[in-house]
Amino acid sequence: MTTYYPIDGGRSQLGGYASTTVRAGATLPFDDARHLQAHRWLVDETYMLDEQRYTDWLGVLTDDIHYYMPVKVTTALGSGYDTAPGMAHFDENKYSLSRRIARFATEHAWTEDPPSRLRHHLGNVRTFATENEDELVVDSAMLLFRSRGDVREAAFVSAGREDLLRRVDGRWLLARRHIAVDESVLRMQNLAIFL
């Protein structure tokens, strides 16, 4: 059974009904069929994002998707937090993601005209079973290379991701993505892309 709770201490505006499914036990072996399915799903999604097939990407998200990337901050060792309370680069549900994607087809999407050249590098994939046999928690490391135009320097974003994959009608779909960036200052002009 899936339960729901407001993430981030209730400070997430769009994550109030995000799934709270958590990992159960140790990582699945790399030759476990569920791990192989999850890894393949992530690789296929990576190519979809690189090719900027965002309408197709919407089709592999659940209706209750929560896409969340809090703002990383540098604090003292004993502070107990490393993200800015109540602040996020992304705090989105399926509706807000669909509006961002629809905007790319308009003349107002100047942040992606000309489009970025993207390459998502995926690694360190670990898969965990949950109490629900149709859900998996998947950790991964991601490095994004992004280049725009011919004169600006390329940008990189390094992050860890925790995803929740849910099997719906025999297909794995992304039900939750929480992104933990590795820098407190992102060195790119905008975040009009998906990680």
pLDDT of 70 strictly over 60 = yes
Q: What is the model's pTM?
A: 0.87
Rounded average pLDDT over 62-88: 79
Residue 102 binned pLDDT confidence (cut-offs 50, 70, 90)? very high
Give 134-192 pLDDT, tens digit per residue: 999 999 999 999 988 776 788 899 999 999 999 999 999 999 999 999 888 877 777 88
What's the pLDDT score for residue 2?
35
The full set of domain ranges for the chain reads 8-181
Give 26-56 pLDDT, tens digit per residue: 999 999 999 999 999 999 999 999 999 999 9
Fold of 8-181: Nuclear Transport Factor 2; Chain: A, (3.10.450)
Rounded average pLDDT over 46-74: 94
What's the pLDDT score for residue 6?
40
What's the pLDDT score for residue 86?
76
Give 1-27 pLDDT, tens digit per residue: 333 334 454 456 666 677 888 999 999
Residue 73 binned pLDDT confidence (cut-offs 50, 70, 90)? confident
Task: Sort strands 117-129 and 135-147 into parallel, antiparallel or unpaired.
Answer: antiparallel
Strand partners of residue 123:
141
